[in-house]
Amino acid sequence: MYIGKSYTLIEFVTWTKGRIYTLLLFGFIPICLYHLFGIKWVAIPWSVIAMLGTATAFILGFKNNLSYSRSLEAQNVWTSIVSNSRAWGLVSKDYLQNNSEISKSLIYTHIAWVTALRYSMREPKSWESTNKKNNVKYRKRFTIPEQQTSLEEELAKYLVPEELQKVLKAKNISTYILSLQGKTLKSIYEKQEINVTQFVDMEKSIKEFYNLQGKSEQIKNSPFPRQYNIINNLLIQSFSFLLPYGLLIDFNKLNESVSGCMKGNMIWLIIPFSCLISWLYSSIAQVGENTENPFEGGANDVPISQISFQLEAELREMLGEVNLTDFDTSQNNIIL
């Protein structure tokens, strides 16, 4: 998540410059055909380009709106995880005031669940955009915490060795950790350390964590509909290619109203203007593409690492632990 006031123009241009050379070429070719070689029939009526541009803008806006909705939904899911986790820490401590070891075990196991979940959210998927050239270059500005240490190292802080080995063999580690919580609750209930009301309350919390995990996994494992993605790309590419052909006649007419060195050469202005317009369309599309996968490890992600670190500190403070490490993932105004 970017936490500065705004990306600087240099940052944004650097991130989106990948197609600029192609767009300049798109503008140069029709001018050569029309102006230098005298092939006048290549000019396209502006009304055709206007209709194509309108359709492109409509699809682009629709796709970006859906992309933002996915990101907002992911933010809401992890906000709910934070709220429910704080409540879990409270009841784990208050319901078991006479057994601090069990309280610590329940809270530490929960931290292990949050840790395992964020690691699973960072696993790369084939449809994500992190490996694209522009994103690879921009990622030199920050590091992804889940790529700095292994999941086993992190889980070893919260689980006993016997549990850790079983957890690491599970197909879905997060799900298995929640099942361990359920077993612990059943054990302490059978020992009459909590009453039936408290047992049911904590079981409902585990069920809610399962639901939130499922929602987070659904966003991670379900790509943005590919049919919208391909039609969006085709429209932008078609518009960018045809735009200079639609500007030929109008820019050529400008020669009638100017004098000096620019007379007869106004048509060359098509190159910068068509490049600028097409670049704006492609940049908006790129922004949407990098928003639709909110856990991929990009600058516009939901900051699940920072959320997890902060939540860990809060839960451990509930246990009375002090001198905790101050976790901060911010780098160049980006937090993950």
- Residue 189's φ and ψ, nearest 5 degrees, are -70, -40
Q: What is the mean pLDDT of residues 25-29?
A: 87
CB neighbourhood size of 155 (10 A): 22
**Number of neighbours of residue 140 by Cβ within 10 angstroms:** 8
Tens digit of each residue's pLDDT (9 = 90 or more) over 55-95: 888 888 888 888 888 889 989 999 999 999 999 989 888 88
Instruction: Provide the mean pLDDT of the chain.
Output: 84
Closest C-alpha among 282, 243, 183, 287 to residue 25? 243
Give me the torsion for CA of 112, 99, 166, 314, rounded to 10°.
0
**What is the pLDDT at residue 290?**
81
| 327 vs 269 pLDDT, higher one | 269
Give mean pLDDT, residues 255-264.
Answer: 70
Q: What are the structural domain ranges in the chain?
A: 9-318
> Helix (H, G, I), strand (E, B), or coil: what is residue 2?
strand
In this prediction, residue 210 carries a pLDDT of 93
Q: How confident is the model at residue 329 (pLDDT cuts 50, 70, 90)?
A: low
pLDDT band at 2 (very low <50, low <70, confident <90, very high): low
Q: Quick one: 311 exposed, middle or buried, by C-beta within 10 A (0-12, 13-18, 19+)?
A: buried
Q: Could you tell me the CA-to-CA distances from 118 to 81, 262, 280 in Å, in that order?
A: 11, 59, 34
Asked if pLDDT for residue 6 goes beyond 80, the answer is: no
pLDDT of 281 reads: 87
Q: Is the pLDDT confidence value at 199 over 80? A: yes
pTM equals 0.87
Intra-chain end-to-end CA distance of the chain, in Å: 6
Q: Give residue 215's pLDDT.
A: 93
In a 3-state reduction of DSSP, which class is residue 322? coil
The pLDDT score that the predictor gives to residue 178 is: 92
Decide: 20 and 277 in contact? Cβ < 8 Å.
no
pLDDT at 259 over 80: no
pLDDT of residue 84: 93
Indicate the pLDDT class of residue 318, thresholds 50, 70 and 90: confident
Rounded Cα gap, residues 327 and 312, in angstroms: 10
Query: Positive or negative CA dihedral for 231, 236, 241, 246?
Result: positive
pLDDT for res 73: 92
Token digits for 123? 């696993």
Q: Between helices 270-289 and 226-253, what is the axis angle to 10°?
A: 160
Comparing CA positions, the residue from 92, 136, 135 lying closest to residue 110 is: 92
In this structure, of 63-77, 212-226, 252-266, the range with the lowest mean pLDDT score is: 252-266
What is the average per-residue pLDDT within 31-35?
A: 84
Q: List the Cα angle 18/22/28 in 5-degree steps.
A: 150
**258 confidence band (pLDDT: 50, 70, 90):** low
Tokens, residue 307: 């959320």
Burial label for 77, CB within 10 Å (0-12, 13-18, 19+), is buried
As a dihedral over the C-alpha atoms of residue 314, residue 316, residue 321, residue 325, rounded to 10 degrees, the angle is -70
